[in-house]
Structure 1
Amino acid sequence: MEMAVTELKKNKALLCLECGKCTAVCPISAYDREFSPRRMLAEGIFYGGGDLISDKRLWSCLTCLLCSERCPVDVRYSEYMKGVREIAQKQGNWGEPSHGSALLHIMEMMTAPKLNQNRTGWINGNIKTAEKSDVLFFTGCLPYYEDFFAKDFDFHPISIAVDTVRILNHLKIKPAVLPNERCCGHDLYWLGKIDEFNKLRELNLKEFERSEAKTIVTACAECAYTLKELYVKKLGLNSIEVKHISELVAENIDRFKFKDQNLKITYQDPCRLGRHLNIYDSPRDAMKAVPGMDLNEMPHNKRGSICCGTTNWMNCGASSSRIQKARLTEAKNTGADTLVTACPKCQIHFRCSQCGKGKDKEKTDIKLKDFTNIIASAIDG
């Protein structure tokens, strides 16, 4: 396939030394011996990628960049996977979507220009927002996650939005919240649905322009990556700054007074916040500033952190489940009471894994909290 070869060249894949370091550290390869980043590169290099286009395992790659951390020649493997997926889905090939494709269909529905949504019903009298502000809170898909997951888990995704605004209010910020923003498009981009991603980006950029905001704050690691890298940086939008809420808290830590928490925690580095954006210290610095909050690191942390096991609501099977259980076990073995995440999807995936009744349940039984919930609950006053 000539297009697959084009992707190989564009993403430095032709430099591959076939050393196998990518496969050695790949979380999926650890539990699925048929999945191998090295083999998938070889398929493209030596055979043009014909079989790879129709391989269901093409959609299992987490695009977590752990392979890139080990690659001695800087092959951009995750971008290669995204490019091959773009070719594959245009030819009618597709993976195995989770949740009956419902969440992917919602994203696609949001590309409709005349779509009207009820996205702001979560705003209550205890938090303050504004129609226009220099600071915009990008809610992302949290309202949809609330409708989709709150009934099944002891967890309300929309609480992440509420507590983000509470944190902003503590900093004397009344953020704007857009009534008709769309999904940032992260999942569609990494699934190779670039046309649909571009539609979402265009619609969101029009909303941003109307808001006149200079700073966009988000509590989602995937939104942070997408807005920073695929909107602002890629399009050269120098008038807008994007921050994950952990960055804002860390930068303004002297403006917070916290109550003693007496809590042992460990922290899950989201792939997009960590390896994709190189944001490791901000969430840690913020949590360490809370009295009585004892951070116990997992052996796999920061650049070596292990993904939550699935991405893009795609190919969430036995390998994903085993990755999640191993990660939860690693978290519990630190002696922590609570595993803190900084991406809503990480918590959703881990909670889903905890729903099982197998022999591993006791090993994976650890409380889960979002960074925003931890910080907001610790604020004194």
Structure 2
Amino acid sequence: MGTRRAPSVRRTAPAAVLALVAAAGVTVAAPAEHAGAAVPTTIQLTVTNNSGRSEPVYLYDLGTLLATGRQGWADASGTFHAWPGGANPPAPAPDAAIAGPAPGSSMTIRIPKFSGRIYFSYGKKLVFKLATGGLVQPAVQNPSDPNHDILFNWSEYTLNDSGLWINSTQVDMFSAPYAVGVKAGNGATRSTGHLKSGGYQGFYSALRGQSGGWANLVQTRSDGTVLRALAPGHGIENGALSAGVMSDYVNRVWSKYATSTLTVTPFADQPATKYFGRVSGNTMNFTNSSGAVVTSFQKPDSDSIFGCYKLLDAPNDQVRGPISRTLCAAYNRSTLLTHANQPDTSAAGFYQDAVTNQYARKIHAQMADGNAYAFAFDDVGHHESLVNDGNPQQAYLTLDPFS
């Protein structure tokens, strides 16, 4: 697997996370008006190619079949195919590519009850391999990854008995622009993920103009094609961004909460559930309303902040995970020094400190609706680029212009 890291929460589809933690009561379930609606085994996904590019498009629907827990892919009809056994070193996976729509046209496929990803690539098919532990996903932070020079992106979705969750994501990279949508049971269609006019080029211009090494996140092909901007955690991993890029902010947070209290109210529907954080040495301890310590966090490094993992690990429980989600969002948005009560859900105050997640800041600035998944817990306060419905009639994936 080369330099790729072991799977963690930031490698997990945010849409899938939302669907799964809903069962644990961490987030809301499907809309009440759709309770009891029968979600079919497959639904239609209409893919529209508005990219303006002339290369052929290839689609892939990869994931875990929720009925059985088996991993595999779905063909254009929504039929599931399990992956065969893997190997060490990893062996080529079966060709799961679906020929996508030509420029200016649309096509409709069917997607099954998966928790997974819909990849799309321009010009070349993606290379997938099977290790003994399962599918090896592209890892473009690794310069030797066979997909490094391919222009591609992916959406993440969960379709289950409770409905459809589908998102656009920049958790790992900002690349080929696209939007997602869902037609609800009442006939209304909602979408998210579209950039503002000029937003694609605007993002890259802004990132390249940001001092402090952020421009190093941009990757181009030898022919000059801009391929992507890596998320900052991946930039730290491959040396493009300093590992201490957030250290000054963390130090100031640590100093503030050594003498004052950080209050976290992680559940919007449970305002009485509060936790209180104070720094002692290298540790921030959180107590409940009775004064008992419920969890503690070591002083996080930049990578833990950008990835919402390691020193900010967020298990699917009712205490540490929700606190960590809140902290992760606040660190990335740099709101901990301005608001001692978290989460701060008003976007007007996000990314205002000189030390912040500049990658996330610039993505959100270019989104037509302001929403994105620029880091794993961008859904704190509902700033994520996600649509869902408990009785989905159809899903949409629109490949947008590179302008």
> TM above 0.5, one fold?
no
Higher helix share: 1
**TM-score, with normalisation over the residues of structure 1?**
0.29
- Point out which structure has higher relative CO (alpha carbons under 8 A, 6+ apart): 2
- Which is richer in strand? 2
